[in-house]
Amino acid sequence: MNEVTDSLESRIRVVLQEHGRLSRAVDAIDADADLYQAGMTSHASVNVMLALEGAFDVEFPDHMLKRSVFNSISAIQEALTELEQVRTMR
């Protein structure tokens, strides 16, 4: 990983810690681990999505509003990277 990726993951972990309602510490969760198995509910995932939008100044488009986008830290990171790439292309 590089410094930018590490920073992005750290910021995602902060949002998850505050809004994910996980059953264990977010620092103990592997980036590819299933967040729903770690205790995140569908309701909490909506809170996570809204918090991510605020923290990263993005809006998740309709095609990204699905469970798989918020299934893991890696999946969230991938989605945010994609949104940033779209933004910089404009």
Instruction: Answer whether residue 5 shows pLDDT above 60.
Output: yes
CA dist., res. 24 & res. 33, Å (int): 12
**CATH code for the domain of 68:** 1.10.1200.10
Total tally of structural domains belonging to the chain = 1
List pLDDT tens digits, range 21-62. Answer: 999 999 999 999 999 999 999 999 999 999 999 999 999 999
Instruction: Quote the tokens at residue 26.
Output: 């977010």
3-state secondary structure of 39: coil
Q: One-letter amino acid identity for 87?
A: R
CA dist., res. 5 & res. 71, Å (int): 18
81: confidence class by pLDDT, cuts 50, 70, 90: very high
pLDDT confidence of residue 4:
61
Which residues lie closer than 8 Å to 32 by C-beta, 6 or more apart? 72, 73, 74
Contact 69, 76 (CB under 8 A): yes
Judge if pTM exceeds 0.85. yes
3: confidence class by pLDDT, cuts 50, 70, 90: low
